[in-house]
Homo-oligomer: A and B are copies of this chain.
C-alpha cells in the first residue's frame, strides 16, 4: 500500500527515468552521444544528481546495464506434460526470442558500448553484460534442454556443449554483423524461418532418434 509500484530496480523511479533516457541517448547517438551534460539536459536533471546517484560515468554505464537487464522477464516454460511437438515449439520460441533480443536497439547499443570499453582498462562492463543479460537466457535455455532430455526428446552428453551448438545454429554470425552495423542484416521478418531451420538442424544433431553417430569429440 505504501509502495504501490514494485521496485523493479535498486533505483528510484526518478533514477529509472533518467536511466531510460540515457539508454535512449545511447541508442540514438552511440557512446559519444551519451554525455553527462547531454543526459542532464535530456532528462531535465542536474549533472550533480547524476554523479550523486551513480558515482561516475562508469557507474552510470553499469547502472544502465543493470536497469535494462532488470526489464527482461525470463519466460519460464517448465513444461508440465511436454510432448515432442510442444518441446519443439518451445525451442522454436526460444530461438525466436533470442533473435529478437539480440537484434533489439538497446541490446545492440549496450553490447557496442561494452565491447568498446572491453580493451582499455578493466571496466568489467562486458562481464556485467554477460552476467546480467546473457546468464538468464542461458539458464532458461539449458533448463529447457534438460527437460527435453529428461522426457527423451533429445539426447546429449554435455549440456553446455549442446546449448552452445543450439546458440550457434540460431545466431550464426548475425550478432557480430549487426554489431558492426552491416546494412540489410536485420531482417525480423525472417526470424521465424531462421528459428525453424535452427531447431530443425538442432534436432537433426541431438534428436533422440539419431543415436547412431554420437559426436566423438
Chain A positions within 8 Å of B, measured between CB atoms, are: 27, 29-33, 108-109, 111-112, 114-121, 126-127, 129-130, 161, 164-165, 167-173, 175-177, 179-183, 193, 196-197, 200-201, 204-205, 210, 213, 215-217
Q: A173 touching B180 by the CB < 8 A rule?
A: no
Looking at chain A's contact residues, the main secondary structure is: helix
The 7 listed contacts between A and B (C-beta, < 8 Å) are: A30-B121, A130-B182, A161-B197, A167-B173, A168-B169, A193-B217, A196-B217
A31 pairs with B172, CB closer than 8 A: no
Residues of B contacting A111 in the complex (Cβ-Cβ under 8 angstroms): 115, 176, 180
In the assembled complex, the Cα of A213 lies from the Cα of B199 at a distance in Å of 13
A27 to B118 Cα, complex, angstroms:
11
Least Cβ–Cβ distance between A84 and chain B, in angstroms:
15
Task: Tell me, rounded to whole Å, the shortest Cβ–Cβ distance linking A118 to chain B.
Answer: 4
Interface contact B31-A119, CB-CB below 8 Å: yes
- Which residue from B32, B171, B215 sits with its C-beta under 8 Å from A120? B32
Residues of B within 8 A of A29 (CB): 119-120
List B contacts of A205 (CB < 8 A): 201, 204-205
- 19 more contacts with CB within 8 A, not counting A30-B118, A115-B179, are A27-B119, A30-B116, A31-B120, A32-B120, A33-B119, A111-B115, A111-B176, A112-B116, A115-B116, A118-B180, A118-B181, A161-B197, A165-B201, A168-B173, A176-B179, A179-B179, A193-B217, A204-B205, A205-B205
Q: How far is the CB of A200 from chain B (nearest CB, A)?
A: 5
Q: Nearest chain B CB to A158's CB is how many angstroms away?
A: 10
The answer to whether B169 touches A171, judged by C-beta atoms less than 8 angstroms apart, is no
Interface centre among A120, A164, A181 (most CB of B within 10 A): A181
Neighbouring B residues of A114 by C-beta, 8 Å: 180
Partner of A167, one of B165, B172, B204, B210: B172
Q: Is A173's CB under 8 angstroms from B172's CB?
A: no
Asked whether, in the complex, the Cβ of A204 is within 8 Å of the Cβ of B193, the reply is no
Decide: A115 near B171, CB < 8 A? Known: A213-B204, A217-B193, A217-B197: no
